[in-house]
Amino acid sequence: MTSLLSPGFNARINQVKAQERKREGEKENAASTSTSTSIPVPAIERPAKRASITPTKNSNAEISSSSTAATTPGGASAAARPQALAAKAPLQPQRQPDPRVPSPLPTTLPAAHSRTLNLQRRLRLSKKRGSDILALGHSTAMALYIKIISLESIIDTQAQSLSEKSAFLLQQNTELAEKDRDIERRNETIRQQAKGLRKRDRMLERKEKERRGLEETMATKDEEMADMLKTLQTLRKELGKAAKEIDAGKTGSRDMKARLERDSATLAQTVSDLVE
């Protein structure tokens, strides 16, 4: 995580650590001087002088026996020696130490003072470890804070880009909806045109049927005209024969003339019908 920090921030953290270590060293020096000056060294009391023993008959024997018992390994006779001497020797007033004579300084520190120094050393080490842990925690917290800030900025940037994309997509959706409405209107127009074309096709089919009917009628009339032409040709042949008979025999009569007139009228009527 410390790799995420900038060089200036790392330098600031190192400076803070150095200041904390300096303060801890000053505190330790002050504590050591205060403890060295304030802890009293207990004076070693001088052992009281033995009471004077008056010589008796058995005193030499008792002293020799007590000395031998004290020198022998065991502990019962040596431990019972002061009690035996105190019981047999008469009580004498103890001599008080002379206050003018200074007491000798101790050659070694007492055990309590050494334990105190050990505890102080452990306390200093624990304080140093605690300060290191605190500095590490502070740097870690700052790294996490910077990482969180960077993540927040990244999230804000992504959120802004997403909002812009959503706005762009919304605009595109609006444009697509407008295009869909235009396409729907065009489709409706095409459907209306298709309906008109279907109507026109039906009308053309009706006209085609009418044309076919007219063609059939014309074909029928053509057949009729062909028949009439044949009839006219037959009549012409008959008229020619009649004319030949009239020219040849000159035997025309009124009946023949009337017949010819009737045939001529019929022929004229037929021709007029054909023309129509």
Residue 58 within a domain: no
Residue 241 within a domain: yes
What confidence tier does 71 reach under pLDDT thresholds 50, 70, 90?
very low
Helix (H, G, I), strand (E, B) or coil at 94: coil
Residue 253 within a domain: yes
What confidence tier does 67 reach under pLDDT thresholds 50, 70, 90?
very low
Residue 194 within a domain: no
Residue 229 within a domain: yes
pLDDT digits (tens, 9 = 90+) for 73-96: 444 444 445 555 555 555 555 666
Domain count of the fold of the chain: 1
CA 2 to chain centre: 25
- Domain hosting residue 240, numbered range: 221-275
Residue 239 within a domain: yes
Distance between CA atoms of residues 85 and 88, nearest Å: 5
Residue 132 within a domain: no
Q: Which residue has the higher pLDDT, 201 or 58?
A: 201
CA 63 to chain centre: 98
Q: Nearest-CA neighbor of 106 among 56, 41, 150?
A: 41
What would the mean pLDDT of 168-189 be, rounded to a whole number? 93
Q: Which 3-state string (H, E, C) describes 35-89?
A: HHHHCCCCCCCCCCCCCCCCCCCCHHHHHHHHHHHHHCCCCHHHHHHHHHHHHHC
What confidence tier does 19 reach under pLDDT thresholds 50, 70, 90?
confident
What confidence tier does 174 reach under pLDDT thresholds 50, 70, 90?
very high
Please report the pLDDT score of residue 83 as a whole number. Answer: 54
For residue 209, pLDDT beyond 70:
yes
Helix (H, G, I), strand (E, B) or coil at 148: helix
pLDDT digits (tens, 9 = 90+) for 20-51: 788 777 777 776 665 444 444 444 444 444 44
Q: Nearest-CA neighbor of 119 among 22, 31, 38, 43?
A: 31
